[in-house]
Amino acid sequence: MATSKKTGAPTEKKHPGYIDCEVWFEYGKTPSYGYSTPEQSKSLAGSFSASISGLDDDTTYHFRAVASSGVGTDYGSDMTFTTEISISHIFDTGPGTYPSIFGTHKGTITPNQTLTVSKLYTYPCSGTGGHTESIEFYESDNLIANGTWNGYHGDYPNITIHSVTGAPYLTLIEDHEYNYTIHTGSYPQICHTDALQTANGWINCTEFVDVNGKRYKDGIPAIRLTHDEGTLRIGAFNIQVFGKSKASKPEVMDVLGKIIRTYDVIAIQEIRDKSQTALPALVNTVNSDNSEYDYVVSERLGRTTSKEQYAYIYNTQTVELTDTPYTYPEPAGTDPFHREPYIASFRGGNFDFTLVGIHTKPDHKGTITYSEISHLTDVVDSILATNPNETDIIVLGDFNADGDYFDEDTNTNPFKAPKFRWVITNDMDTMVRTDWTYDRMVMMNATLNHEYVSGSAAVFYFDTEYGISDENLVWNVSDHYPIYAKFRTDLADDD
């Protein structure tokens, strides 16, 4: 992922008298924006800046400056910037040429700077499924990393590279020579030379043996080594009364499947299905492109006859379930939750974490919702009592934390204590037809300051992202938008 810093410079403050106001940037991939930077207080006309991280590589973003006070709110002009591919994390031969044939490539790579790589992309010939079947890296005849193809699904031209130590990346040291063995399939592109200089060093061919056994000295595979900084996209989605009726609508299921495939782990709320058939059908839709997602689901919960279930749907290629999920065991003689939170632990790379999924009971008086949110502190405490070393606890879901149910500006609720960091903030609208922020994600400082990708928490406006103009379709998908944040998996484990 790229990290980009962009600065807006409003030349005047339109509020008379230069009164105190709050300023921030709105930004996103379309002029609808969808994301915003933290507010800053300003009392003078002039420029301000903000750092934005967690942006996609080689992508154009729209942004504008916003200033707000008691007088009103002013919006700056729409502007754009484009992120770059970080050259320090890429070793790229560029495309190759015809003729093409698959086989086994052997040679050397000598980087001219230290590189961290975790993905291998193979340039396919047009109209083919050219790819790399496997790659091995050696240093002084010792295997140091490898990667294996997972078949024709998802982003099939890419394969993940793992160090033999288990780390989901490989560090190539400046001016060191590394041997590679790459087995290709179908019709990948080939650079027909024995030596090729790239921006980040040299790649050489020592031998290429094609599928027919013919040997060459000038067959370098057309590849690109990249590093995605080892991130997971984790989030939550209330999919609004999900049962047999919604599962029977192909256009709705198609959108839900596309959304879920953008996540590594997603906490699902509001499954209402006595037949227990709707969730398996949804996961089958997610896997219809040969993805490999699995799920765990809670028992049916609730004090009334209208029961709900929670679920976690996760990508088995990027994360693993590390323990048996369970619903929060309420202390004897208490009943703080209408639907007890659902707790599950996962690992992706070096990041192991525990998710607490919650759908609080909406209460127009605000007392029940407030109470349930406050009791989430007890849930976190119970996890810590069982595993004091688990500092990466993320509470997420439909908190109903806005509107008539909860005063989003309150600081009196125990779950608003400083140690709990609400990364889905009050200015992020999570509802389709209102500007309320019901859905939230909360973590503690240990996660916020280590694995969490700063500024990555956001709302996924799937209608804008997928160009859906049919309001009825959007509403049939859900009355909520999903939320997410990104987390690093390539850092040293801190618990």
Tokens of 97: 């040429």
- What is the C-alpha separation between 436 and 90, in angstroms, rounded? 41
Q: Which of 250, 313, 252, 269 is nearest to 287 (CA)?
A: 313
Alpha-carbon Rg for the chain in angstroms: 25
Answer yes or no: 26 catalytic. no
**Residue 31: how many CB atoms within 10 A of its CB?**
12
Give exposure, 381-415, as e/b (b: 16+ Cβ within 10 Å): ebbeeeeeebbbbbbbbbbbbbbebbebeeeebeb
- What is the C-alpha separation between 488 and 116, in angstroms, rounded? 14
Token look-up 């994390």 returns: 89
The three-state secondary structure class of 259 is: helix
Tokens of 296: 């765990």
Choosing from 89, 131, 338, 359, the catalytic residue is 359
- What is the C-alpha separation between 447 and 470, in angstroms, rounded? 39
Please list, in sequence order, all residues whose beta carbon lies within 8 angstroms of the beta carbon of residue 336, skipping any fewer than 6 positions away. 330, 371, 372, 375, 378
Provide the 8-state DSSP code for 277. -
Tokens of 370: 């407030």
Provide the 8-state DSSP code for 361. P
Token look-up 């509020």 returns: 15
Q: Which of 221, 273, 233, 223 is nearest to 458 (CA)?
A: 233
Choosing from 26, 308, 372, 451, the catalytic residue is 308
Q: Which of 186, 178, 177, 182 is nearest to 208 (CA)?
A: 182
Token look-up 């909360």 returns: 442
Answer yes or no: 192 catalytic. no
CA 193 to each of CA 92, 104, 107: distance values in angstroms, whole numbers, following the listed order:
15, 15, 12
Helix, strand, coil percentages in the chain from 3-state DSSP, rounded to 5: 15, 40, 45
- Please list the active-site residues: 308, 359
